[in-house]
Amino acid sequence: MRKLIWAALLLAVVVVPFGAYVRLSHAGLGCPDWPGCYGQISPAHAADSIAQAQSLAPDGPVSLGKAWREMAHRYLAGSLGLLILLIGWRAWREKRQRLPAGLLLATVALQGTLGMLTVTLVLKPVIVTSHLLGGMAVLQILAWMALAPGLTPVRASAALPRLAGLLASALVLQLALGGWVSSNYAALACQGFPACNGQSWPELRFDRAFHLLRELGESPDGGLLDFASLVTIHWLHRLGALAVSLLLCSVLWLGWREAALRPHLGCLAAAWLLQIGLGVANVLLQLPLPLAVAHNAGAALLLMTALLLRSRLRAPAAARRRAALPAPPLGPWGRPGAER
């Protein structure tokens, strides 16, 4: 069971960033059908169809290289799905870790459906973003199953578990915002840092930027999505990064008093600094593909570190003892009092 979990985790560490690479290299429609490629098992078998599509649109989304990237991602994701099926079977058979294994199976089933819809609905932003979140969820569940049992629980102040939980929630929201930036191709809508196109606070347009039921590049009324909407998407992601940074610094400040947490907090701080650096570098260097993929992997690492931190934290012993005490009997007026 443990070997299966670790094998799945290592494969997920490859699959999730590779999916970002496929998307960012514009290969998401390299095979415009699903699950095969032009009805074939591999791009080699569909070479004639791919060549014909490329001759009609030389600069379009279809080429032999893009088709191989897309199908390689499907092969890897399919292998991961099989490993997760084995994990679910072993968990049920051995009567352990059934809840996370069941959640993992449900997430993978949803993720497979979203992968199909990503292609068949031609990269609709809400589907692409949901597919990204689904892949991250699979990775986080596997990381928790593999790593959490080996981490020593730590009793900290009552505020620290709540703050760590808030940080993890903020990171999930920030991840969704990052997926929305990527799926709408808004990563370069703001030039420069920290200013955006020379402005400290750019013009924002929320009504079109976050309308979910629209096609890629289109506004809700079917016209082209205006540039102000793309700037809004990008700028809100930057504001989210600022909010996450403030929360994370609060967790570091409050948790550093616990000596047992310091190595974990050091890893959290390192992952945060790496992710901030990658985000700024992507803007200043005009989104080079290796850095863009690394930013996706960095987000997964930062969220994983924060979730594992939250799973380690326990309420202080005094609070646990108070929670375990029976409630005092109620007096005649519904107030705590002596029992009569």
Omega of the bond leading into 35 within 30 degrees of 0 (cis): yes
Question: In the block, which residue shows the tokens 């606070």?
Answer: 201
Sign of the alpha-carbon dihedral angle for 69, 75, 81, 86: negative
* pLDDT band (50, 70, 90) for residue 335: low
* pLDDT band (50, 70, 90) for residue 319: very low
CA 112 to chain centre: 16
Q: What is the pLDDT of residues 59-85, one digit of tens each?
A: 888 999 999 999 999 999 999 999 999
Rounded to two decimals, the pTM is 0.89
Nearest to 149 by CA among 308, 317, 316, 320: 308
How far is Cα 136 from Cα 296, in angstroms, rounded to an integer?
10
Phi, psi of 155 (to 5 degrees): -90, 120
Q: What is the pLDDT of residues 142-176, one digit of tens each?
A: 999 999 999 999 988 889 999 999 999 999 999 99
Q: What is the pLDDT of residues 239-263, one digit of tens each?
A: 999 999 999 999 999 999 999 999 9
Whether 339 is catalytic: no
Of the listed 70, 94, 218, 258, which one is catalytic?
70
Domain ranges within the chain, ordered by starting residue: 1-150, 153-318
pLDDT at 318: 42
pLDDT at 324: 54
pLDDT at 338: 47
Of 186 and 156, more confident: 186
Q: What is the pLDDT of residues 20-37, one digit of tens each?
A: 999 999 999 999 999 999
pLDDT at 60: 86
* pLDDT band (50, 70, 90) for residue 340: very low
Residue 328 has pLDDT above 90, yes or no: no
pLDDT at 337: 53
How far is Cα 27 from Cα 43, in angstroms, rounded to an integer?
13
Mean pLDDT of the chain: 91
